[in-house]
Amino acid sequence: MTSNREIHLASRPQGWPTEENFRLVETDVPTPGPGQIVVCNQYLSVDPYMRGRMNDVKSYVAPFALDAPLDGGAIGEVVASEAADVAVGDTVLHGLGWREYALLDATAARKVDPSLAPVSAYLSVLGMTGLTAYAGLLEVAAMKPGETVFVSAAAGAVGSLVGQIAKLKGAGRVVGSAGSPAKVERLRALGFDAAFDYHDGSVRDSLKAAAPDGVDVYFDNVGGDHLEAAISAMNLHGRAAICGMIAQYNDTEPPAAPRNLALVIGKRLTLRGFLVGDHGNVREAFVRDVAGWLREGRLSYDETVVDGIENAPAAFLGLLRGDNLGKMLVRV
């Protein structure tokens, strides 16, 4: 192959992104230099945090550049190598998605064994997604056996794993919110003790009915009214792991909620934001636990797969709308 297709950021979104903010660009397949490899991407990940990188604002990671390829998690096969430790035919995980062929330093890629699991799993349950769920629940929120856990966006890639891990680690009750009746049913099938569709009424009322004895741990993927409801429901010394706030990523006005932050004082709550990159210290335990649960059939994961690099923007927009069940992936 001599032709390579990439998705570039054509313009910065104002509010909700549209297809017009992206551009499909055809380039040549790159040639590796010393210490470099070329990877033919098989799957790439689209994730909520990417919306923030489309804005030209200072954050914990640099914004995407205009008229240049976006990037993100990807997995693929090495098709050319000028690196001693990486051979043609190796399967590698790396950070240059949104393109068919990626040129990168071999030190920026991690070899994985495609015989152990489907390669897509390394972008979900065995990758950053799984580690985010594991570290956020057990290290950041420090869940203890017997506690009640509430997870927002619980049918998503991270949330669905949080709920299952909580049950596997001895949570007394696990509650999830989701955006459709089908997703609510899926959560119950995954072992959640209760689940509700946040479209059915106020999140606060739904959560109170699902967790009448209160919440000890909240895993937040949504922010806004979900965070406000969780603060109201949390018991003394409750802990919230703040992973994401997808409800306000596309807002152009300041969010209305949470309006009850004063409750944090009397309840002595801990609200802690986190980034998965800060928790490499639990990777060994994560791999051991998750690999074992998968092998024993005790942990399930869902994927929503969109075919074609040209459809990566549509997959991302679908993710923001909540069209996905589990991890949203693009099969290149």
Give the CB-side neighbour count of residue 10, counting CA atoms within 13 A: 12
Helix (H, G, I), strand (E, B) or coil at 8: strand
Three-class DSSP category at 56:
coil
Q: What is the pLDDT of residue 1?
A: 63
Rounded average pLDDT over 24-45: 97
Percent of the chain with pLDDT over 70: 100
pLDDT digits (tens, 9 = 90+) for 282-327: 999 999 999 999 999 999 999 999 999 999 999 999 999 999 999 9
Q: Is the pLDDT of residue 118 over 80?
A: yes
Integer CA distances (angstroms), 80 to 33, 34, 42, 75, 93, in order: 10, 11, 15, 15, 15
Q: What is the mean pLDDT of residues 232-260?
A: 88
Q: For 139, which DSSP code? A: I
Q: Is residue 51 predicted with pLDDT exceeding 80?
A: yes
pLDDT tens sequence across 158-198:
999 999 999 999 999 999 999 999 999 999 999 999 999 99
Mean pLDDT across 258-285: 95
Is pLDDT above 70 for 150? yes
Cis link prior to 32 (omega < 30° from 0)? no
Distance between CA 22 and CA 11 in Å, rounded? 7
CA distance 284 to 3: 39
* DSSP secondary structure of 193-244: SEEEEGGGS-HHHHHHHH-TT-EEEEEESS-HHHHHHHHHHEEEEEEEEE--
- pLDDT of 247 over the 90 cut: no
Reported as a pLDDT band with limits 50, 70 and 90, residue 60 is confident
Average pLDDT along the chain: 95
> Sorting pLDDT into bands at 50, 70 and 90, what band is 257?
confident
Which among 140, 134, 121, 113 is positioned nearest to 284, based on CA atoms? 134
- How is residue 104 written in tokens? 């990168």
Sheet with 270-273: strands ordered across: 194-197, 173-178, 148-151, 215-220, 234-242, 270-273
Tell me which residue has tokens 């640099």.
Answer: 62
Identify the structural domains of the chain with CATH numbers, from first to last.
Answer: 3-124+302-331 (3.90.180.10), 128-277 (3.40.50.720)
pLDDT band at 250 (very low <50, low <70, confident <90, very high): confident
Mean pLDDT of 47-73: 93
In the structure, what pLDDT confidence band is assigned to residue 61 with cuts at 50, 70 and 90? confident
Q: What is the pLDDT of residue 251?
A: 72
Q: How many CB atoms lie within 10 A of CB 292?
A: 12
Label residue 238 by pLDDT band (50, 70, 90). Answer: very high
Question: d(Cα 181, Cα 132) in Å, to the nearest integer?
Answer: 26
Average pLDDT over residues 101-108: 98
CA neighbours closer than 13 Å in the CB half-sphere of residue 248: 15
Over residues 251-274, the mean pLDDT reads 89
If one compares 105 and 247, the residue with the highest pLDDT of the two is 105
Contact by Cβ (8 Å): 95, 72: yes
> What's the mean pLDDT in 140-169?
97
Q: What is the pLDDT of residue 9?
A: 98
Cβ neighbourhood burial of 307 (10 Å; 0-12, 13-18, 19+):
exposed
CB 240 within 8 A of CB 217: yes
Q: Give me the torsion for CA of 118, 122, 126, 129, rounded to 10°.
A: -130
In contact, 234 and 214? CB cutoff 8 Å: yes
Q: How many CB atoms lie within 10 A of CB 210?
A: 21
Tokens of 262: 């004063």
**Which element (helix H / strand E) includes 38?**
strand 36-45
Residue 20 pLDDT > 80, yes or no?
yes
209-215 average pLDDT score: 98
* Count of C-beta atoms within a 10 Å radius of residue 318: 16
Q: Does the pLDDT at position 141 exceed 70? A: yes
Sign of CA dihedral 43, 138, 278, 231: positive
Residue 59 has pLDDT above 90, yes or no: no
Return all residues near 22 (Cβ < 8 A) that are at least 6 apart.
Answer: 7, 8, 9, 10, 312, 313
